[in-house]
Each structure stands twice: as C-alpha cells, then as structure tokens.
Amino acid sequence: MAYSDKVIEHYEHPRNVGSFDKGDEEVGTGLVGAPACGDVMKLQIKVKDGVITDAKFKTFGCGSAIASSSLATEMIKGMTLEQAAEIKNTQIVQELNLPPVKIHCSVLAEDAIKAAIDDYKKKHSR
Amino acid sequence: MKLPIFMDNHSTTPVDQRVVDTMLPYFTEKFGNAASRNHVFGWTAEAAVENARAQIAALIGGDAKEIVFTSGATESDNLALKGVASFYKKLGNHIVTVETEHKAILDSAKRLQREGFEITFLRPAKDGTVSPEQVAEAVGPKTLLVSVMLANNEIGVVQDLEAIGAAIKAKNPKTLFHSDAVQGAGKVPIDVERMKLDLVSLSSHKMYGPKGVGALWVRRKPRVRIDPLIDGGGHERGMRSGTLAVPLIVAFGRAAEIAKAEMAEESARLRALRDRLFRGITAKLNEVYVNGPDPLEHPERRLSGNLNISFAFVEGESLLMALKDVAVSSGSACTSASLEPSYVLRALGAGDDLAHSSIRFGIGRFNTEEEIDYVIDLVTKSVSRLRELSPLWEMHQDGIDINSIQWTPH
C-alpha cells in the first residue's frame, strides 16, 4: 500500500513522543486499543487552567496509527479541554489523507484524546 | 550493493538468467503448437515439452508421463482436490487437510464442504509440524484424500511426508495422498515413491522459473484418476485441456533441472545466510520469538532460506515501513486485505499480538552476505526506534505484564 507523504512525514519524524508521570495531578492519560488488534495508543495531556499546555504519545501500531496519534498531539496543544473533546476523527483522516482501510486509526486517535480528557476530569472531580 | 533488496523469495523468485536463455527461442523461431502432429514446428515444440516433463518429474522421483501442466500451483491444488473428489465421490466423502495449508487448498476444501463433503482440518503443533499419528487418526474408511503441504510458505516448516505417507497407507491403503510441494520443491529432496504420494502440486515461479505455469504430478502406477476442471481438446491425457504454454514449460523444466543439480550446495549456502541473519538480529535485540521450528536446533524441519520471527511490542506493518529498502513480508493484519493477522501463526497459537509483530524473511539464490548484514543493521535500528515509540514496550520495561491489562478490542 502506498502511504501519503504526510503519513510518512509523521512516521519518520513523530512529534511529541514520550510520557508524563501518570500520577501527576496535571496529567490525564488515555490508553486505547488492544495488542491483539494490532494497535494500542497511549496519549497524555498536561492541563493548566483548563488548557492543554502539552501532550505526549506512544503508539504500537501501523504507520497510519503512529501518524494519527502524532498529529493528534499537535492538534490539541493549546486547546481548552472542551475544544479538544470536539475533535473528530474525520479531521485526522483529511489532514493525513488516510485511505478507507486506515480510518480506524483516526478513530482510535479520537478515542485516545477523549480518554485522556476523561482521566484528567476524573482526577479533578474528587 | 543495490537497493532495494529482495528478501521475499517465498512470494516469488526472479527468473534465473540460464532459464531465460533456454526459453527465449520458444517465443520466436520455435513457436510451434506442441499439439500439432503433422509438421516440424509441432514436433519441435512437443519434444521440448517432453524434455521439460522429464526434468520436472526427475526433481520429485516421478515419471515424465505423470506430469500434467497447469497455469500454476493454485490450479494444480484445485485440480487435485476437486478432481479426486469428483471422480471418486461414490467411494467416499471425506478429505483430510491442515489448517496451515495454502488458501488454494483450504478454499478448495471449503467449497467441497459446501457441496457435501466432510473435511477434517488438522491443527498442527506449536512449531507447525503435523504428526503421522495425528493424520492416521483422522483417516477412516471413507477418506478419499489427505493433503499435507511439503513446506509452509510462511513459517517454512518442512513436514515429514515419508512418515505421514506411511501412516496414511497403513490406515487405509485406498486413501490418496496429495502434497502442495510449491515451497519445498527444488529446496528439499522429494521422492514420490518413498513418501507414498499420489498427487503433487508444483510451481515454476518459486524455483526461479517464470510465473504462469505449474504442474500436477498424478501417479500412474497404480493409476490415480481425476475429473478435469477444464474441458476442451483433451490435452494432458484429458486432465487439463488447453494449448500448452511451450516457452513457459521449457523454462519450468530448465528451472527444475538447475534446482535439482544445485540443491545441496544452494541449501547449505542459504542456511548459512539465514543463520547469520538470525544470530545477527538476536545478538542485538531481545524479546524476539521464532515462529515455526527453531532454525538452529531443528534445521531439518525448516526451509533453509526461511526465517519468520516476531519482534514483541512492535507492529509488523510499521516495521515494514521502516524497512522500505528491503522487500520482506509480515503476518500483521494491516498488510492483508482481510485485516486479519496471519491465519498460519494463529493456528500455531502464537497469540494475535505476536502474529501482528511477525516478519518473514525469504532468502533466495541471489541474496548475498553483504545484503544480510545490511538487513541485520537496519532491522536492529528500526525495531529499537519503534520500541521507543511503543507503549507496550514501556509497560514491559516497567515490569507490567501486558496480558494482565483489560484491553478494549475494537
């Protein structure tokens, strides 16, 4: 399968790879997917005053999954939690030119963002 | 060294220059139809085809008259299963095969199943081998045919056809024994007598011949009958009508002749390259798992040019992307049209995560030591980079068992 230039670019130079301390009060962690399905994404956000100041990811998956999560971290930096929660997978599909068989990668990235926000909110609802 | 490197010799092989040289005249000055009986053009073509029959039969210890040319091994497999089932349906209704066979066997068997035949799909052991006892146990008085491949296209496991053949005939002497020998022929010795085979599928393009031609060897003594799939002019003793592809057949014959003459030497050379690749990778990376028989402990059970390994915590397709200058393949779902990981690896009980992480290296006649060293270096660097990107690798480093986590399959 031929990959789009944008997927290759993100795959070769992924943005924001890494991890924050899960226990940190300012951090929300989303872990989605399953090894048996061939993709797992971990996406973390650092939040101050309702704004995502930083984001990091690690992904086990195909090139499109890595690119989708890399792009997702770029997109959400500087957004409020509400804005980030509004991100739709179709924006990722468009930006990366994903073919139909790779749409699930963008869905997973959307899920990862939502899971990270939920985790952060849970920490702060106590 | 030239890039990209082709290390996917189970998918196909380049045509050997010696084979090309042999076949070329049959496109131009020797273009006759082998079925033309009344002029020299036809006689020349027929003689060349008969020579090729003998060359191919010699590779498997059969007789030239027993070779039926086809368009390829997929057709040969279809013809063997459906042809036997159709001809002998009054004598029985049961066929035995293995879960890790090629799709040409499995899908032919499934079609027969829909038509009312009873099919037993045997599950191989963890290393891919099928035991003679296991096969014999499945054979009954109504078993028409057992089909077991010589060597597997993904994990390279070589079955003990001699022991399996003996076990089948001991249980039911009337049961026919077929083998899809596409991956093994020309690489490991085959002897249809010693292995008590009745039908054998062969392919030209896996042994440095051209694509578009294959053969089904069909035993004459005692005579094995099959109904044809293709009717017409009665070519190939009525088993496969259609004008013979003379240039392709001549080439196939020459490829078989070279394979037979050079098998021992080539096999030793490929094994040395394969072991160098395996040792080189495992010296630098941990958490690497072999799929199929261990190449160092049981080399006799594995094709010498085959290495299939899983790099835990790294997804196969993403690794293929990093190896863009090296043509290899993966059992990852993402590389298949069905989005299912390799059914061969799943049948071995490898676990879906390891199936997704598998890479198949197929080393062939034209690979060099320099290429092997380049691949070792590239694989090592790429796996290390992708592991730094992998949340599963991070968990593993932190001592978390990834099987203990409640994942949400999607």
* pLDDT tens-digit map of B261-304: 999 999 999 999 999 999 999 999 999 999 999 999 999 999 99
pLDDT the model gives residue B255: 98
A38 → chain B, closest CA residue: B356
CB B205 within 8 A of CB B12: yes
pLDDT at B338 > cutoff 70: no
Active-site positions of B read 334
Asked if A60 and B391 come within 8 Å (Cβ–Cβ), the reply is yes
Give B14's DSSP letter: P
A37 → chain B, closest CA residue: B409
CA–CA min distance A92, chain B (Å): 18
Distance CA B364, CA B346 (A): 26
Give contacts of B407 with chain A, Cβ < 8 Å.
Answer: 33-36, 40
Instruction: Pick the closest to residue B219 from B85, B94, B52, B67 (CA basis).
Output: B67
B341 band by pLDDT with thresholds 50, 70 and 90 = confident
B333 → chain A, closest CA residue: A38
pLDDT the model gives residue B110: 98
Other beta carbons within 10 angstroms of residue B203's beta carbon come to 26
Distance CA A91, CA A72 (A): 10
How many residue pairs from chains A and B have C-beta atoms closer than 8 A? 87
Highest mean pLDDT among A117-126, B141-150, B327-336, B345-354: B141-150
Asked if B315 and A65 come within 8 Å (Cβ–Cβ), the reply is yes
pLDDT the model gives residue B410: 67
> The tokens of B282 are what?
């495992």
pLDDT at B333 > cutoff 70: no
Residues of A with CB under 8 A from a CB of B: 1, 3, 8, 11, 14, 17, 19, 31-42, 58-63, 65-66, 101, 104, 107-108, 111
Q: What is the mean pLDDT of residues B171-198?
A: 98
Mean model confidence pLDDT for chain B:
96
B407 → chain A, closest CA residue: A34
A35 → chain B, closest CA residue: B353
pLDDT at B334 > cutoff 80: no
CA–CA min distance A51, chain B (Å): 25
CA distances, B155 to each of A90, B135, B308 (Å): 39, 20, 6
> The tokens of B261 are what?
């003459």
Indicate whether this complex's ipTM tops 0.85: yes
Asked if B407 and A34 come within 8 Å (Cβ–Cβ), the reply is yes
pLDDT the model gives residue B404: 86
- Nearest neighbour of B315 by CB, restricted to A62, A108, A111: A62
Counting other chains too, the contacts that B377-383 makes at CB distance below 8 Å and 24 or more residues apart are B378/B322, B378/B323, B378/B325, B378/B326, B379/B281, B379/B285, B379/B319, B379/B323, B380/B280, B380/B281, B380/B284, B380/B285, B382/B319, B382/B322, B382/B323, B383/B285, B383/B311, B383/B314, B383/B319
pLDDT the model gives residue B288: 97
pLDDT at B392 > cutoff 70: yes
pLDDT at B409 > cutoff 80: no
C-alpha count within 13 angstroms, C-beta hemisphere, residue B60: 32
Query: Per residue in A52-63, pLDDT tens?
Result: 999 999 999 999
Helix H or strand E segment including A53: strand A51-60
pLDDT the model gives residue B353: 83
B350 band by pLDDT with thresholds 50, 70 and 90 = confident
**Which is catalytic among the residues A37, A90, A122, A124?**
A37
Distance CA B349, CA B55 (A): 40
Count of positions (residues) in chain A:
126
B336 band by pLDDT with thresholds 50, 70 and 90 = low
The bridge status of strand B306-311 relative to strand B199-203 is unpaired
pTM of the model: 0.94
For chain A, which residues score pLDDT lower than 70? 1, 126
pLDDT at B214 > cutoff 90: yes
Give contacts of B391 with chain A, Cβ < 8 Å.
Answer: 31, 40-42, 58-60
Maximum alpha-carbon separation in chain B: 80
CA–CA min distance B206, chain A (Å): 23
Asked if A66 and B392 come within 8 Å (Cβ–Cβ), the reply is no
B1 to chain A, any CB pair closer than 8 A? The answer is: no
B164 band by pLDDT with thresholds 50, 70 and 90 = very high
Give contacts of A41 with chain B, Cβ < 8 Å.
Answer: 391
Query: Per residue in B7-35, pLDDT tens?
Result: 999 999 999 999 999 999 999 999 999 99
**Which is catalytic among the residues A47, A105, A113, A116?**
A105
Interface test with chain A among B319, B323, B407, by most A beta carbons within 10 Å:
B407
Q: Report the percent of chain B where pLDDT is more than 90.
A: 92
Query: Per residue in B57-83, pLDDT tens?
Result: 999 999 999 999 999 999 999 999 999
pLDDT the model gives residue B305: 98
Query: Per residue in B298-332, pLDDT tens?
Result: 999 999 999 999 999 999 999 999 999 999 999 87
